[in-house]
């Protein structure tokens, strides 16, 4: 059963939602029958990368909040993340456009490392204070999950996978997705936001039950044939 997850690297609830979904999956009896595909989404596609800006001040300026209020919200999200075993350090977070990070994630997906890339990107942004728009940081990150250095550099120095990122974002728009994280299970049921584990688990069970019923089955009429073990 396919599960598609739209997220943005710089979305704090996406990392929390990832962890809660993973916890639900651990309690799901049929977890080995699940295929997960990460999809790109940009909360602010026009964001200009600027490592000199403090993320709390940036949020206050963009949202029209006071710095104190922005700090309170960051503190609350940090506490929420800690409840899921995650460490957020907004003091180190770098204001950066996530487009190239999404392109790297698509490269990783090509090699079956999509989930590893998402985890590494989230940790880089929220915990380690890495610049997710910096090609040097992204190259190191890609290599840390097993990608080849030259392929990473070629991807980042070109427009490779730019079309894939834009396609994911366009698909989100077609589906009416305006916020992330957004989980689509079996193309039928959606979970919006960093819901609690029981919500994910209930939706997994419902989606899987329907998926099983919909799976095509073959009625085989046996005849003379050759098999892969060499028997004819």
Q: Alpha-carbon distance 214 to 225, whole Å? A: 29
Instruction: Give the pLDDT confidence score for residue 217 in this predicted structure.
Output: 60
Instruction: Give the pLDDT confidence score for residue 229 in this predicted structure.
Output: 63
- 112 occurs within a structural domain: yes
Instruction: Give the pLDDT confidence score for residue 167 in this predicted structure.
Output: 98
Instruction: Give the pLDDT confidence score for residue 122 in this predicted structure.
Output: 98
- 224 occurs within a structural domain: no
Tokens, residue 71: 């700090």
- Positions of the chain with pLDDT under 50: none
Q: 139 with 108: CB under 8 angstroms?
A: no
Beta pairing partners, 183: 5, 191
- With residue 62 as reference, give the H or E element that holds it: helix 55-63
- 23 occurs within a structural domain: yes
Q: Alpha-carbon distance 183 to 201, whole Å? A: 12
- 183 occurs within a structural domain: yes
Question: Taken in order 90, 91, 92, 94, is the CA torsion positive or negative?
Answer: positive
- 106 occurs within a structural domain: yes
Domain limits for position 124:
2-214
Tokens, residue 123: 């940790």
Tokens 């994911």 appear where? 168
CATH number at residue 166: 3.40.30.10
pTM of the model: 0.91
2-7 and 35-40: which strand pairing?
parallel
**3 state SS of 40:** strand
How many domains are there within the chain? 1
Q: Alpha-carbon distance 195 to 201, whole Å? A: 10
Summarised one tens digit per residue, pLDDT across range 137-159 is 999 999 999 999 999 999 999 99
**Burial of residue 178 (number of CB atoms within 10 Å: 0-12, 13-18, 19+):** exposed
Q: Alpha-carbon distance 222 to 90, whole Å? A: 64
- 219 occurs within a structural domain: no
Q: Alpha-carbon distance 189 to 186, whole Å? A: 7
- 221 occurs within a structural domain: no
Q: Alpha-carbon distance 181 to 55, whole Å? A: 20
Q: What is the C-alpha end-to-end distance of the chain, expressed in Å?
A: 35
Instruction: Give the pLDDT confidence score for residue 232 in this predicted structure.
Output: 59
Instruction: Give the pLDDT confidence score for residue 228 in this predicted structure.
Output: 62
Instruction: Give the pLDDT confidence score for residue 230 in this predicted structure.
Output: 64
- Can you say whether residue 230 is alpha, beta or left, with left for phi > 0 and alpha for psi between -120 and 50 degrees? left
- 163 occurs within a structural domain: yes
Tokens, residue 135: 């090609």
Dihedral pair phi/psi, residue 121, rounded to 5°: -70, -45
DSSP tag of 132: T
Q: 208 with 1: CB under 8 angstroms?
A: yes
């Amino acid at each position: 059963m396919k599960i598609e997850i739209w997220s943005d690297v710089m979305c704090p609830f996406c990392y929390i939602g990832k962890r809660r979904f993973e916890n639900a999956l651990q309690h799901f009896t049929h977890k080995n029958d699940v295929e997960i595909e990460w999809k790109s989404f940009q909360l602010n596609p026009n964001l200009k990368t600027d490592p000199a800006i403090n993320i709390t001040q940036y949020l206050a300026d963009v949202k029209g909040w006071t710095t104190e209020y922005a700090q309170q919200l960051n503190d609350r999200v940090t506490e929420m993340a800690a409840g899921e075993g995650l460490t957020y350090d907004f003091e180190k977070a770098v204001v950066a456009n996530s487009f190239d990070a999404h392109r790297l994630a698509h490269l990783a997906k090509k090699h079956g490392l999509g989930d590893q890339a998402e985890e590494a990107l989230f940790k880089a942004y929220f915990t380690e204070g890495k610049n997710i728009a910096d090609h040097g940081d992204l190259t190191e990150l890609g290599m840390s999950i097993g990608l080849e250095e030259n392929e990473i550099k070629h991807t980042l120095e070109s427009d490779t996978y730019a079309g894939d990122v834009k396609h994911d974002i366009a698909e989100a728009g077609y589906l009416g997705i305006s916020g992330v994280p957004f989980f689509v299970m079996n193309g039928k049921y959606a979970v919006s936001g960093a819901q609690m584990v029981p919500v994910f688990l209930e939706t997994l069970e419902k989606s899987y039950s329907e998926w099983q019923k919909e799976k095509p089955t073959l009625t085989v009429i046996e005849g003379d044939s050759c098999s892969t073990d060499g028997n004819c």
